[in-house]
């Protein structure tokens, strides 16, 4: 869960896997200034995420009383607002918490984190973003009443804005894979220490670096891949009202849950159909490589395989599009059949492991 420290302006993540949340106030020159304890904060939650912590994520300043939590470091209470004020779709915070958790876990068992040459790699990440603030508007022409203005303004302020973060993350992932290949090719038998030498070279302009990253090894340490990012967006509601986000009545919540199930199934089926339709393209069917860069035999995707997989998705889609007649469990059963088919094709070597993973969101 992500909230905002009102006093320092920092986004703060509360993670149920950890017994505490520790963060420092942002300071461009923190390494030089050596911030004292007044700027370093620790919020304990040894019993897990409780109501007080949960309340920080919906302490909407215009509607609810602010949430305050005890800071063990300073002995004072910190005030928190809803994370949407700064980061309503906390992709970068998720990436940071994933790296933090696995780094601590790997080091706790006495291992070293991957540094571009050796160590344990952090597991890859699949990200699913559920955006309850619709980007596209159904009204035409655009209304001008107060309810619409209040509702639409909230949508635009809080909707998902992580497309750029995603593109940067994917670009970094591609560069990381390129660096791995270049280092493997450089570390030949005649120059066994070439890879280590490159990694320990100082980064250009490292004197301007204030985040403790001085060598290329530091830059690569603990990095991991993001395999996929899937977005599920709520459709616009023509009959919504201003400040509907404060409506927690059972009727409204249950209605939104049903709409959410439909939107999630629709996006999942469309995404899987797109992957199946492109399985035989060279970008997905070309030779694979193992972690050492050695070529492995590729699996040829036959039309029989793709047609068989597509049939399960078509049945699920047809049922879903009937809307008033569909039941959630019936659609899910077709998707279970699809998953069983993927597993069977993989075990029969009709799908490679990497391609099967693409079809197992």
Distance CA 237, CA 132 (A): 11
Distance CA 241, CA 269 (A): 31
Distance CA 94, CA 50 (A): 20
**pLDDT single digits (tens) 4-32:** 999 999 999 998 888 889 888 876 655 55
> What does the pLDDT average to over 83-98?
90
**pLDDT single digits (tens) 107-158:** 999 999 988 888 999 999 999 999 888 888 888 889 888 888 888 888 888 8
> What does the pLDDT average to over 244-253?
81
Question: CA nearest 224: which of 96, 89, 69?
Answer: 96
Strands 125-131 and 226-233: parallel
Surface-to-core class of residue 359, CB atoms within 10 Å of its CB (0-12 exposed, 13-18 middle, 19+ buried): buried
Distance CA 284, CA 346 (A): 15
Query: Do 3 and 12 contact (CB within 8 A), yes or no?
Result: yes
Bridge partners for 113 per DSSP: 120
With tokens 């070529």, the residue in question is 295
User: Could you tell me the two tokens for 265?
Assistant: 């199934």
**pLDDT single digits (tens) 293-315:** 444 545 678 888 999 999 999 99
Considering only residues 208 and 93, tell me which one the structure prediction assigns the higher pLDDT: 93
Question: CA nearest 183: which of 219, 139, 144?
Answer: 219
Lowest mean pLDDT among 8-22, 46-60, 198-212: 198-212
Q: What is the pLDDT of residue 206?
A: 54
- Give the gyration radius of the chain's Cα atoms: 24
Residues 6+ apart with CB under 8 A from 17: 101
φ, ψ of residue 209 in degrees (nearest 5): -85, 125
Question: CA nearest 173: which of 229, 102, 129?
Answer: 229
Helical (H) or strand (E) element with 41: strand 40-44
Instruction: Kindly give the residue spans of alpha helices, DSSP state H, lying in 194-322.
Output: 194-200, 216-220, 250-277, 282-285, 303-321
Distance CA 169, CA 197 (A): 27
Surface-to-core class of residue 258, CB atoms within 10 Å of its CB (0-12 exposed, 13-18 middle, 19+ buried): exposed
Q: What is the pLDDT of residue 285?
A: 39
> What does the pLDDT average to over 236-260?
79
Q: What is the pTM of this model?
A: 0.79
> What does the pLDDT average to over 166-171?
86
User: Could you tell me the two tokens for 318?
Assistant: 């047809």
Confidence check: pLDDT of 316 > 80: yes
């Amino acid at each position: 869960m992500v909230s905002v420290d009102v006093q320092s302006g920092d986004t703060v993540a509360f993670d149920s896997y950890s017994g505490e949340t520790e963060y420092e106030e942002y300071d461009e020159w923190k390494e030089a200034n050596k911030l004292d304890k007044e700027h370093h904060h620790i919020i304990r939650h040894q019993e897990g995420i409780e109501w007080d912590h949960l309340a920080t994520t919906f302490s909407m300043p215009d509607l609810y009383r602010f949430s305050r939590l005890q800071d063990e470091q300073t002995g004072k209470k910190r005030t928190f607002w809803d994370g949407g004020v700064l980061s309503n779709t906390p992709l970068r915070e998720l990436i940071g918490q994933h790296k933090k958790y696995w780094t601590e876990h790997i080091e706790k068992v006495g291992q070293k984190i991957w540094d571009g040459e050796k160590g344990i790699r952090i597991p890859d990440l699949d990200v699913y973003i559920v955006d309850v603030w619709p980007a596209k508007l159904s009204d035409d022409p655009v209304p001008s009443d107060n309810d619409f203005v209040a509702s639409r303004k909230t949508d635009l302020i809080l909707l998902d804005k992580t497309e750029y973060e995603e593109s940067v993350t994917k670009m970094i992932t591609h560069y990381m894979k390129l660096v791995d290949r270049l280092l493997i090719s450089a570390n030949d038998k005649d120059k066994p220490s070439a890879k280590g030498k490159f990694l320990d070279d100082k980064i250009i302009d490292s004197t301007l670096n204030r985040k403790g990253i001085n060598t290329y090894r530091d830059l690569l340490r603990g990095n991991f891949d993001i395999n996929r990012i899937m977005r599920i967006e709520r459709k616009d509601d023509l009959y919504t009202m201003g400040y509907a986000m404060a409506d927690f009545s059972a009727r409204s919540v249950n209605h939104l849950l049903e709409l959410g199930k439909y939107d999630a199934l629709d996006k999942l089926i469309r995404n899987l159909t797109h992957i199946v339709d492109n399985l035989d393209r060279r970008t997905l069917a070309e030779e694979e490589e193992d972690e050492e860069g050695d070529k492995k035999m590729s699996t040829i995707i036959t039309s029989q395989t793709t047609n068989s997989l597509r049939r399960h998705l078509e049945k699920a889609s047809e049922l879903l599009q009937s809307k008033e007649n569909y039941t959630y469990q019936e659609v899910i059963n077709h998707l279970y059949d699809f998953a069983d088919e993927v597993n069977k094709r993989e075990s029969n070597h009709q799908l490679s492991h990497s391609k099967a993973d693409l079809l197992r969101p």
